[in-house]
Amino acid sequence: MQHYSQSPTDPAFVQNPYPFYDQTRAGGDFFWWDDYKMICAVSHSAVHAVLRNRKMGRECPAELAPDIPPALQPFYDVEAHSMLELEGEKHKRLRALVLRAFTSRTIAALAPDMRQLCHDLIDQFPDEPFDLLTAYAQPVPVVVIARLLGVPEDRADDLLRWSNAMVAMYQARRTPEIEAAAIAATNDFTAFMRGYIAQRRASPTDDLISTLIAAEEDGAKLSEEELITTCILLLNAGHEATVHTLGNGVKTLLERNIRDISESCVEEIIRYDPPLHMFTRWVYEDVTIGDQAFKRGDQIACLLGAANRDPAAYDDPNRFDPARKGPQNTSFGGGIHFCVGAPLARLELRIALEVLFERCPDLRLTGKPQYGDVFHFHGLERLLVQRGI
């Protein structure tokens, strides 16, 4: 297995990680990333195989679980009930309860309000240059997921702030200051959700929180802590990735003067410049994938952004092709942890892009788009645009 060194905080890499992916993929399906001290799956076939292999999972083997500093315990107490981090029967039960409340009918029913929200936001666009992220790409997903859960959308700024602080715990440039902000956000978010769940227990409605409270699987309901964590997970995951995908997608379309939004175009946006570039798995049993052997306790990083640009899977993969056909991209993960919100994300992207270019066909970039200094997430920190005059 070849070794490669590349700082994940290097500004040039953060702005464009794809040349490094191409370099490492040329050496095989897997490589050792010195900076992370971790094996990485870099080809589409290897990432696909790792994501679906039942001898691997998200939950750290008990004998390898690290000691958690007391100051960080509140964050990891929330994580302990996250279906994203669990395996086996615990994961199966939580996911089944969420899917029961997260139906295709529920999601489809959001479309008219989603479209109206997009129009309302565009009505407020200024005539001078403005940041499309704060004016459109951020509020669309956070308001949609708040409405779906039944959380007051006038708390959207708080939800966005708490989510950004918590999600920052997963990035390469984690610092004590980032950790402190995440703990403060965790405490505030948990207190807010605990109070709101109590309200919904007393006065249920037709929102997702009420549905989760009432939902049962084999006679078992979500506990209070599971409810809080699940709501936080859905709020965080339900908008964070969509904000980045929408921003990255508008950038890509404006740079190429593309305005027609088809289902294949939306899929190409999700493939071409995804919001999450690394998703890890622990090995539970000795296993071989391709010609690479793994032992229990190994950790593998699936490089989703690299898999989506694999020339063995996609013809001319570094070219954006809105009519592209090919295998399923890896941006939503795979296996039992495939993103439960994928149908919602696809609907949001399609409607938000359709309405944006219906209303603003002359939208243009006014500054060079800049990606945030964050890996393994990949999203713009600003997207300056202006409507044509």
List per-residue pLDDT tens for the chain, 389 residues long. Answer: 899 999 999 999 999 999 999 999 999 999 999 999 999 999 999 999 999 999 999 999 989 988 899 999 999 999 989 998 999 998 998 898 888 777 888 889 999 999 999 999 999 999 999 999 999 999 999 999 888 888 888 888 888 899 889 988 887 778 999 999 999 999 999 999 999 999 999 999 988 889 888 876 667 788 889 999 988 888 888 788 899 999 999 999 999 999 999 999 999 999 999 999 999 999 999 999 998 999 999 999 999 999 999 999 999 999 999 999 999 999 999 999 999 989 999 999 999 999 999 999 999 999 899 999 888 899 999 999 999 76
Annotate the chain with three-state secondary structure: CCEECCCCCCHHHHHCCHHHHHHHHCCCCEEEECCCCEEEECCHHHHHHHHHCCCEECCCCHHHCCCCCHHHHHHHHHHCCCCCCCCHHHHHHHHHHHHHHCCHHHHHCCHHHHHHHHHHHHHCCCCCCEEHHHHHHCHHHHHHHHHHHCCCHHHHHHHHHHHHHHHHHHCCCCCHHHHHHHHHHHHHHHHHHHHHHHHHHHCCCCCHHHHHHHCEECCEECCHHHHHHHHHHHHHHHHHHHHHHHHHHHHHHHHCCCCCCCHHHHHHHHHHCCCECEEEEEECCCEEECCEEECCCCEEEEEHHHHCCCCCCCCCCCCCCCCCCCCCCCCCCCHHHCCCCHHHHHHHHHHHHHHHHHHCCCCEECCCCEECCCCCECCEEECEEECCC
User: How far is it, in rounded angstroms, from Cα 294 to Cα 145?
Assistant: 39
Burial (CB count within 10 angstroms: exposed 0-12, middle 13-18, buried 19+), residue 38: middle
Residue found under tokens 């589409």: 44
Alpha carbon distances (Å) from 337 to 53, 86, 129, 282, 308: 11, 9, 40, 13, 18
Instruction: Report pLDDT digits (tens) over 47-63.
Output: 999 999 999 999 999 89
Q: For residue 336, which of 91, 44, 36 has the smallest C-alpha distance?
A: 91
Q: Are strands 370-371 and 287-289 parallel, antiparallel or unpaired?
A: unpaired
Q: How many domains does the chain have?
A: 1
Order of strands across the sheet that contains 384-386 = 130-131, 384-386, 364-365
Please count the CA atoms within 13 angstroms of the CA of 345 that sit on its side-chain side.
27
Contact 98, 83 (CB under 8 A): yes
Torsion sign across C-alpha atoms 73, 335, 265, 119: negative
Please count the CA atoms within 13 angstroms of the CA of 122 that sit on its side-chain side.
19
Residue 239, phi-psi category: left (phi > 0), alpha (psi -120 to 50), beta (remainder): alpha
Residue found under tokens 């404006």: 254
**Percent of the chain scoring above 90 in pLDDT:** 72
Beta carbons within 10 angstroms of residue 104's beta carbon: 11
pLDDT for 218: 65
Q: Which residues contact 224 (CB under 8 A, 6 or more apart)?
A: 194, 197
Q: Are strands 299-303 and 216-217 parallel, antiparallel or unpaired?
A: unpaired
Q: The domain that contains 264 carries what CATH number?
A: 1.10.630.10
Instruction: Report pLDDT digits (tens) over 213-257.
Output: 887 666 778 888 999 998 888 888 878 889 999 999 999 999 999
The two tokens of residue 33 are 């990333």
pTM of the model: 0.92
* Domain residue limits at 145: 3-386
Torsion sign across C-alpha atoms 23, 27, 28, 31: negative
